[in-house]
């Protein structure tokens, strides 16, 4: 393998995905920011969840909001449903892995919250069932996804679909969009 060629090809694919995402998601990103601002201003919280790398993104984003993103400021109510090992293992063992996030949404979610599922494929059963549970409870939903949205259309109120089929490129856009959400929230809420 030619490492230099690989390096250049990866950057070229990343750059093309950035341009396509920038061209496709500006309006949807603005709607996500509006939903999140309305949630926080009404006393609600943001609940992030996903599997694997998306679980790491959920934890990263919830932490940026509860601690700080750009400057010290008042905390923003956010939680990752991917961090409680006792809950994750008990739910997985007793109820099934598909119920991992739905059960937590049922336990701690309230109308006025915003459930944000992160899934590159749009087909993760535990993310889909969490959206179904949120909808039953009157909780707004949004998703960062790719691959055309998978099975999410009709199950989430807002979809930010990265225009790519490549998992790595989708994940790169998810963390970019997520960090942009953190920065925009700090500004829109007048915290920085």
How far apart are alpha carbons 68 and 105 in whole angstroms?
24
How far apart are alpha carbons 183 and 192 in whole angstroms?
9
Q: Is the pLDDT of residue 133 over 90?
A: yes
Structure tokens, 167:
């998992």
pLDDT one-digit tens code per residue, 134-179: 999 999 999 999 999 999 999 999 999 999 999 999 999 999 999 9
Q: Which CATH number fits domain 3-188: 3.30.70.2740, 3.40.50.300, 3.40.50.10490, 2.60.40.1180?
A: 3.40.50.10490
Half-sphere exposure of 84 (CA within 13 A, CB side): 16
pLDDT one-digit tens code per residue, 16-64: 999 999 999 999 999 999 999 999 999 999 999 999 999 999 999 999 9
pTM greater than 0.85: yes
- Cβ–Cβ under 8 Å, residues 173 and 21: yes
Orientation of helix 167-188 relative to helix 53-66, angle to 10°: 10
Query: Which pLDDT score is estimated for 49?
Result: 98
Domain ranges of the chain: 3-188
pLDDT one-digit tens code per residue, 72-92: 999 999 999 999 999 999 999
């Amino acid at each position: 393998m030619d490492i230099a060629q690989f390096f250049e090809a990866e950057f070229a694919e990343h750059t093309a995905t950035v341009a396509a995402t920038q061209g496709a998601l500006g309006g949807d990103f603005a709607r996500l920011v509006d939903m999140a601002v309305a949630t926080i201003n009404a006393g609600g919280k943001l609940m992030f969840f996903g599997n694997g790398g998306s679980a790491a993104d959920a934890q990263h984003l919830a932490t940026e909001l509860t601690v700080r993103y750009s400057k010290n400021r008042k905390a923003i109510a956010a939680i990752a449903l991917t961090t409680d090992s006792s809950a994750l293992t008990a739910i997985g063992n007793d109820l099934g892995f598909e119920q991992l996030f739905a059960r937590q949404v049922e336990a701690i979610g309230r109308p006025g919250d915003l459930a944000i599922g992160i899934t590159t494929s749009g087909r993760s059963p535990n993310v889909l069932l969490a959206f179904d549970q949120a909808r039953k409870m009157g909780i707004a939903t949004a998703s960062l996804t790719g691959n055309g949205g998978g099975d999410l259309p009709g199950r989430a109120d807002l979809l930010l679909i990265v225009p790519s089929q490549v998992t790595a490129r989708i994940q790169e856009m998810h963390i970019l969009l997520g960090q942009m959400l953190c920065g925009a929230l700090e500004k829109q809420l007048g915290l920085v």
